[in-house]
Amino acid sequence: MTKILNGRELAGFIKERQFGQVAAMQQKPHLLILRDSENPVIKKYVNLKKQYGQDIGVAVTDHLAETASPDREILRANNDPSINGIIIQLPLKDKSKTDELCNLISPDKDVDGLGANAKYDSATATAILWLLAGYDIPLKNQKIALVGRGKLVGAPLFRILQSSGHQVELFHRGSDLTKLKQYDIIITATGQPGLITSSMLKPGASIIDAGTASENGVLKGDLEDEARSRQDLTAITPKSGGVGPLTISCLFDHVITSASR
């Protein structure tokens, strides 16, 4: 029987702990979210963070930048002692500015962990490790495949796993993905719906689908639906409620840590 990796359930336990931490703090932590778009998918993710912050007592400011480059707002927030965390809700309209803007965020306030000198690991990459640990999926002596080399998941997770001595291989959308059948754990985050098919997965594999794309207003992952019906896998993330809820939990863990410093 395939184990369902329910990130929403794990996030619930973390949220209870965070609520207690924030309640004991003299000053309420404050997260600033910068975005340059009214895209409904982006607004949905921002609203999820705002609701989470409200639930645990963390102030969240949603700032829509008037220009495509919110660099002035980043510099202002860096110098504002009342703001403990700053994130840029990706993607930006001009994706070429992503690295430049992420690197402008003060390393102490870069709670998404996307800048070159961030004091925190990538929130999404960390959430994936929390999910695997929370459901006792071992990494030691396992062959791990990462599909997607993006800034949010693939690149930072590859660095973390490699530095910990794990057997990890990085693939991209143009790779020969039939080779995935050789791997015990597959973590995918390309944003290409249906890229990973059932035929690419060996019996007993564990699958983490962290890909997100919008098709006609519906959010979809990288994994095709047919693969989700298999009962011979060790573990798999659900269509929704897998990595996403834990990413938000990790993000707010970083905000709380920043505020406590």
Cut 0.75: pTM above it: yes
Whether 37 maps to a domain, the answer reads yes
Same domain, 25 and 96: yes
**Residue 67 — very low, low, confident or very high, per pLDDT cuts 50/70/90?**
low
Q: How many helices (H) and strands (E) does the chain have?
A: 8, 11
Phi first, then psi: give them for residue 30, nearest 5 degrees.
-140, 125
Whether 130 maps to a domain, the answer reads no
State the CATH number of the domain containing residue 98: 3.40.50.10860
Whether 72 maps to a domain, the answer reads yes
Same domain, 84 and 148: no
Same domain, 99 and 143: no
Whether 124 maps to a domain, the answer reads no
Same domain, 22 and 101: yes
Same domain, 152 and 224: yes
**How confident is the model over 93-102, as a mean pLDDT?**
91
Whether 89 maps to a domain, the answer reads yes
Question: Any alpha helices (H) in 98-242, and if so which ranges?
Answer: 98-104, 123-134, 154-163, 225-228
The tokens of 152 are what? Answer: 């949010």
Pairwise CA distance, residues 145 & 142, whole Å: 10
Tell how far CA 66 is from the center of its chain: 26
Same domain, 94 and 144: no
Whether 5 maps to a domain, the answer reads no
Which segments within the chain are labelled E, that is strand?
A: 3-4, 30-35, 59-64, 85-88, 143-147, 167-171, 185-188, 206-209, 213-215, 218-220, 235-236
Pick from 175, 222, 170: which is nearest to 196 by CA?
Answer: 222
Range of the domain at 161: 138-233
Same domain, 250 and 222: no
State the CATH number of the domain containing residue 215: 3.40.50.720
Domain count, the chain: 2
DSSP string, 108-131: TT-TT--STT-SS--HHHHHHHHH
Whether 146 maps to a domain, the answer reads yes
Same domain, 149 and 229: yes
Same domain, 25 and 67: yes
pLDDT per position as a tens digit, 10-55: 999 999 999 999 999 999 999 999 999 888 888 989 999 999 999 9
SS3 label, residue 134: helix
Pairwise CA distance, residues 251 & 181, whole Å: 33
Same domain, 53 and 84: yes
pLDDT per position as a tens digit, 189-233: 999 999 999 999 999 999 999 998 877 777 789 999 999 889 999
Same domain, 187 and 223: yes
> 116 near 109, Cβ under 8 Å?
no
